[in-house]
Amino acid sequence: MTKYLGLHETLDLHELITFKALSLTKSTTMGPFAQDEALKTILKNDATAGQQQIERLQEFLTNREVQ
Q: Give pTM, 2 decimals.
A: 0.81
CA–CA separation, 42 vs 22, rounded Å?
16
Full pLDDT tens readout for the chain, 67 residues:
456 788 899 999 999 999 999 999 999 999 999 999 999 999 999 999 999 999 999 998 887 665 5
**Which residues are within 8 A (CB) of 40 and not within 5 positions of it... i.e. 6 or more apart?**
31, 34
Give the per-residue pLDDT at 5.
82
- Tally of CB atoms within 10 A around 50: 20
Give the per-residue pLDDT at 64.
65
Query: Domain residue spans in the chain?
Result: 7-62
